[in-house]
């Protein structure tokens, strides 16, 4: 699929990854692909993020890569230059939203309250990250926040506190495009080379998301 958001929506889950070394980029990509999960959000929580994106872009172009934790325009540019096909942020910054639009990068800013979402939708945002999803009240909270904005066609990617066991609850909400999962490829698993475990986690997440999407249909 040419549109990364369509791909994410078809899968129902995107792994959220903080990776410390660019040398682990290709083994990570291979593990995700082995698990049937051809998408990854590489967060700018580590200094290696841009190099990781570029390494995956060059070696495993079949993996759709995005950049997370984009907090400033410098990292937005680095993400785009390194091959990111989509971007996300934990909060809403209108300058970043505008810069992403100018760069042609599908971008998903974070929201937690109706006020956040009011400001974001006024700027044209129609895909938002609900973060931190667990702390913010879980699926019931998102359903309540989303209701007054339904006529605008706003969709969401809840992230933070989501688990394989709760994927079904989140995807039962029709406005949810996909969930973000930090459990799929944990930093410590990457650091210790537990790529078989990551592949297993990816496969489990894909299965749970597929079953939830089938129920919703």
Q: Which residues are catalytic?
A: 41, 129
Quick one: tokens of 85? 């096909």
Runs of H (alpha helix) within the chain:
4-11, 25-34, 49-59, 73-81, 94-103, 114-122, 138-146, 167-171, 187-191, 195-216
Which residue in the block uniquely carries the two structure tokens 């066991």? Answer: 165
DSSP string covering 98-141:
HHHHHHT--EE-EE-SHHHHHHHHHTT--EEEETTTTTTTHHHH
Which residue in the block uniquely carries the two structure tokens 């299965």? Answer: 207
């Amino acid at each position: 699929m040419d549109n990364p958001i369509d791909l994410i929506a078809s899968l129902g889950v995107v792994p959220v990854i903080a990776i410390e070394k660019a040398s682990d980029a290709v083994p990570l990509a291979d593990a995700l692909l082995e698990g049937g999960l051809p998408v990854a959000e590489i967060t700018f929580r580590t200094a290696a993020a841009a190099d990781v994106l570029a390494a995956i872009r060059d070696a495993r172009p079949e993996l759709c890569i995005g950049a997370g934790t984009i907090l400033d325009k410098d990292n937005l540019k680095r993400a785009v230059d390194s091959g990111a096909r989509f971007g996300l942020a934990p909060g809403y910054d209108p300058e970043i939203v505008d810069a992403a639009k100018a760069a042609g990068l599908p971008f998903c800013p974070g929201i937690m309250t109706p006020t956040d979402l009011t400001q974001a939708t006024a700027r044209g945002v129609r895909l938002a990250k609900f973060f931190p999803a667990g702390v913010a009240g879980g699926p019931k909270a998102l359903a309540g926040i989303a209701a007054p904005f339904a006529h605008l066609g706003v969709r969401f990617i809840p992230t933070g506190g989501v688990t394989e066991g709760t994927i079904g609850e989140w995807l039962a909400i029709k406005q949810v495009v996909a969930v973000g999962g930090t459990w799929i490829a944990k930093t410590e698993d990457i650091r210790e080379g537990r790529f078989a475990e990551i592949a297993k986690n990816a496969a489990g997440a894909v299965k749970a998301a597929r079953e939830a999407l089938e129920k919703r249909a």
